[in-house]
Amino acid sequence: MIRNQRRQQALQNGIFLLGMQILNYGLDKVPPATLIGVIAQTLLYAGLIRVPWNAEDVCISAVKIIKYKDWQSFFFSNFEHGSDMHLYYNMLSFILKGSYLEPIYGTINFALLLVILSIGCSAMYVSLGYILMQLTADYGYFTACAIGFSATLFALKVIALCEERDKLHNIGGFVVPSKLAVWLELILIHLLVPNSSFIGHLGGILVGCLYSYTFVGETIDNLIHTITGTPIIHEEQFYRRRNRLIA
């Protein structure tokens, strides 16, 4: 049943559009880890990667993790998508961010960083859901369920903005400096796409900030270096941002 539902989803236009966009962008221009990530998530959505759950079964919420210890949702919710267009826009964003960051960090390092960021985004989502429920007494924050790669993409966006030199970005017609771009994008997406997960996107930004601006990022870099034997080399701009905040 699950397999048939996924194969029906695969007939939707989003996957076709994604394939066309990749070909237009240039298949050879997409780095290996990014390309594998895009293909794997597309095949998962299409049902060609066989898993014993439906996408909605692994949506993540604070209550599922804290109360019911649903670790399947904790680890896999980031890689499922609710619709073909959800997949399409996320994978386009992933291609752009991965094509920028993966050549800087190296393929294996970037792949490990993606895993760590995804786990961090799940932990942040659960933490925010619990904290907001405690602060507002609104149980909806505790039970709000989400799937998709968007949180990890927001984390990658923060990191990418920290790697580049300060410049202006056009976000929905508003021209803003790099440090404000991700926050404006968060607000615009929430206003234009009310069903999107504000907590998930905010959590991704916070994870990206922890990596980019605090000792957490240095700890992650050292861990990855220990595993792969290859250090993550950041642009000078990145180190200035991290050291400025620590100082």
Cβ atoms within 10 Å of 1's Cβ, excluding its own: 6
Report d(CA 194, CA 148) in Å as an integer. 15
Whether the CB-CB separation of 182 and 154 falls below 8 Å is answered with: yes
Active-site position among 81, 86, 201, 234: 201
Whether the CB-CB separation of 14 and 85 falls below 8 Å is answered with: yes
Give me the residues paired with residue 174 across strands: 171
150 catalytically annotated: yes
Report d(CA 227, CA 203) in Å as an integer. 26
Q: List, in order, residues 6 or more apart from 242 with CB less than 8 Å away.
A: 162, 212, 213, 214, 217, 218
190 catalytically annotated: no
Q: List, in order, residues 6 or more apart from 222 with CB less than 8 Å away.
A: none
Contacts of range 89-93, beta carbons closer than 8 Å, 24 or more positions apart: 90/41, 90/148, 90/149, 90/150, 90/153, 91/18, 91/38, 91/41, 91/42, 91/149, 92/18, 92/21, 93/153
Active-site position among 73, 77, 150, 212: 150
**Nearest by Cα to 206 from 112, 110, 128:** 128
Whether the CB-CB separation of 98 and 25 falls below 8 Å is answered with: no
Q: Which residues are annotated as catalytic?
A: 150, 201
